[in-house]
């Protein structure tokens, strides 16, 4: 690796805030700059991003070599200790930042998170990542970073970063980290080439450092293998934190001048529209039988399983048993996210949710709304859709839940609807018990054409007890979300209707309702 002396002096001047005038001083100065343990405050304040985005030559390599030497020294000192896994995690964090495909933006953000993670214990990774988020936001607001983002045409930078790190996580293996280790040693040898031949103690110590790093490299397989789980957990925590921060920054409704809700669709007109639609909706399957029959509500084995788990804190889903094709209990450990499709008349907090895998499967489908209705078996009179919310399960918390494929759904034979919803994708069911998580108000349709709304004093339970004809004359609207861990509502982009015939119904401009845009 050929070193440009001018570039090296400029890099060292930026990194240390001082200058050198001769070649001899430059190389001694470089040697001093990469000695010692991590300078955490300097790493947070300088190393991560200004250098990478400003493209100051050699600064990144100097930082990488310095970190690698510091990691290797710590491991060499503790070589005989019973558990040095966290030292290998620290080494792994350095090596993760050396993937050749990693752009400067992602690398800088990772370095900021990693500086924070190194200060905490293995049990506090999520807390460390949360603390590191403040530094990341500060750097992303810098003018040169914003210019970089603009030049790269990155729209939602936080989600883009999460996606890039998710791709990186898929490449994370011991072999890949060892390859990065090899590349960094080559960079180190190039940078230390002239230092190694300086006379006296400086040259001797430089040669000893190279030998020490190579010794750690040769023996790192086992340690990096033990470090893989906390490294993966660190990247998971970073992805989760970036995505949650992205949701906080998103607007709930994008095209506010053209967003209108026409109210819930009662079952009778919904069935009529499904029977008359030509062509039939993509989410509706022919025939009354699907491939995922629901569990019998009197299934003794399932009811016994539910009863036993209820005593240990799991929700009682006995009345919802027929909505599952199969069930299993689980504990969802934070940090984690659950998703729920809602309409402005649905409560944000309820029992039915989707995990991240199913949500990504829906959103990557050619027609996400059709995939959601079809494979989660949701009738249009159950949930008009149009919005979604995200519930964050904080680090250290656990949520008891049931999971299983949604059962195929059909309507009462007397409706004459010879069709079904297929089901088959996993749904999550939790207990929504707690305080009033949603401020939902019931309005009565009035006026000559039923388009005027009059607020009533009804509760949502009162509304649910209304006869079908009375229910059709009322409209529940969620005005505010009170749950501390639910973000949203956010627009799905799917629209608020399933049939053109719904367009004639009274439309309500959602942006005038405080809780319908964002909380």
> Is 95 strand, coil or helix?
helix
> What are the phi and psi torsion angles at 188 (to 5°)?
-60, -45
pLDDT single digits (tens) 110-138: 988 988 898 888 888 888 998 888 888 88
Concatenate the DSSP letters of all residues of 259-296 into one string. Answer: -EE-----HHHHHHHHHH-SSPPTT-EESS--SSPPPP
Is the bond preceding residue 279 a cis peptide, omega within 30 degrees?
yes
Whether 224 and 173 have beta carbons less than 8 Å apart is answered as: no
Residue 42 has pLDDT above 50, yes or no: no
pTM: 0.66
- pLDDT for the residue numbered 11: 62
Average pLDDT over residues 312-324: 93
Please give the average per-residue pLDDT across 24-50, as a whole number: 53
DSSP class of residue 324? B
Confidence check: pLDDT of 145 > 50: yes
% of the chain residues with pLDDT over 90: 34
339-347 average pLDDT score: 89
Could you tell me the pLDDT band of residue 339, with boundaries at 50, 70 and 90? very high
* Mean per-residue pLDDT of the chain: 81
Rg from Cα positions in the chain: 29
Using the CB atoms, write b or e for 111-128: b if 16+ within 10 Å: bbbbbbbbebeeeebbbb
Residues 6+ apart with CB under 8 A from 273: 265, 380, 498, 499, 501, 502
Q: What is the mean pLDDT of residues 136-155?
A: 84
Residue 179 in tokens: 């390859």
User: Looking at 100-104, 159-163, 293-297, 303-307, which range is the least confident one?
Assistant: 100-104
Which residue did the predictor score with more confidence, 371 or 347?
Answer: 371
Question: Which residue, among 81, 77, 75, 79, has the nearest Cα to 95 in the 3D structure?
Answer: 75
Label residue 4 by pLDDT band (50, 70, 90): low
For 130, what's the count of Cα atoms within 13 Å in the CB-facing half-sphere? 9
User: Coil, strand or helix: which one is 440?
Assistant: strand
pLDDT-derived band at 32, boundaries 50, 70, 90: low
């Amino acid at each position: 690796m050929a070193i440009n002396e001018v570039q090296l002096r400029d890099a060292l001047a930026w990194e240390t805030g001082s200058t050198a005038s001769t070649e001899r001083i430059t190389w001694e100065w470089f040697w001093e700059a990469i000695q010692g343990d991590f300078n955490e405050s300097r790493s947070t304040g300088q190393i991560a991003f200004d250098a990478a985005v400003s493209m100051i030559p050699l600064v990144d390599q100097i930082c990488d070599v310095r970190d690698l030497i510091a990691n290797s020294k710590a491991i060499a000192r503790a070589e005989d200790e019973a558990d040095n896994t966290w030292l290998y995690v620290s080494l792994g964090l350095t090596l993760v930042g050396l993937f050749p495909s990693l752009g400067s933006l992602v690398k800088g953000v990772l370095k900021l998170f990693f500086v924070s993670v190194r200060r905490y214990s293995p049990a506090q990774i999520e807390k460390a990542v949360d603390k590191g988020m403040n530094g990341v936001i500060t750097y992303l607001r810098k003018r040169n970073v914003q210019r970089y983002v603009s030049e790269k045409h990155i729209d939602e930078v936080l989600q883009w970063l999460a996606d890039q790190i998710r791709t990186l996580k898929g490449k994370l293996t011991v072999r890949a980290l060892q390859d990065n280790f090899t590349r960094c040693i080559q960079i180190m040898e190039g940078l230390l080439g002239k230092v190694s031949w300086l006379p006296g103690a400086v040259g001797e110590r430089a040669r000893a450092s190279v030998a020490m790093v190579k010794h750690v490299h040769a023996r790192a397989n086992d340690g990096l293998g033990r470090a893989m789980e906390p490294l993966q957990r660190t990247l998971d925590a970073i992805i989760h934190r970036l995505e949650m921060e992205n949701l906080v920054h998103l607007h709930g409704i994008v095209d506010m001048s053209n967003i209108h809700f026409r109210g819930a669709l009662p079952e009778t007109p919904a069935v009529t529209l499904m029977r008359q639609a030509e062509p039939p909706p993509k989410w509706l399957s022919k025939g009354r039988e699907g491939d995922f029959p629901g569990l019998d509500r009197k299934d003794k084995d399932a009811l016994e399983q539910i009863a036993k788990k209820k005593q240990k804190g799991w929700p009682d889903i006995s009345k919802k048993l027929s909505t599952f094709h199969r069930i299993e209990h689980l504990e969802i450990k934070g940090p984690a996210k659950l998703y729920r499709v809602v309409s402005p008349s649905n409560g944000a907090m309820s029992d039915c949710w989707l995990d991240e895998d199913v949500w990504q499967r829906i959103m990557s489908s050619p027609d996400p709304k059709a995939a959601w209705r079809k494979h989660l078996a949701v009738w249009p009179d159950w949930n008009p859709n149009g919005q979604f919310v995200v519930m964050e399960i904080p680090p250290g918390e656990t949520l008891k839940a049931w999971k299983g494929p949604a059962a195929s759904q059909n309507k009462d034979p007397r409706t004459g609807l010879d069709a079904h919803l297929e089901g088959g994708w996993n749904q999550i069911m939790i207990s929504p018990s707690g305080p009033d998580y949603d401020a939902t108000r019931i309005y009565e349709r009035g006026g000559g054409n039923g388009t005027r709304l009059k607020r009533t004093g009804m509760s949502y339970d009162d509304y649910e007890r209304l006869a079908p004809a009375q229910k059709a004359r009322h409209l529940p609207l969620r005005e505010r979300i009170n749950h501390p861990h639910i973000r949203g509502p956010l627009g799905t982009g799917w629209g608020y209707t399933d049939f053109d015939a719904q367009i004639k119904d009274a439309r309500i401009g959602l942006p005038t309702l405080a809780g319908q845009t964002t909380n």
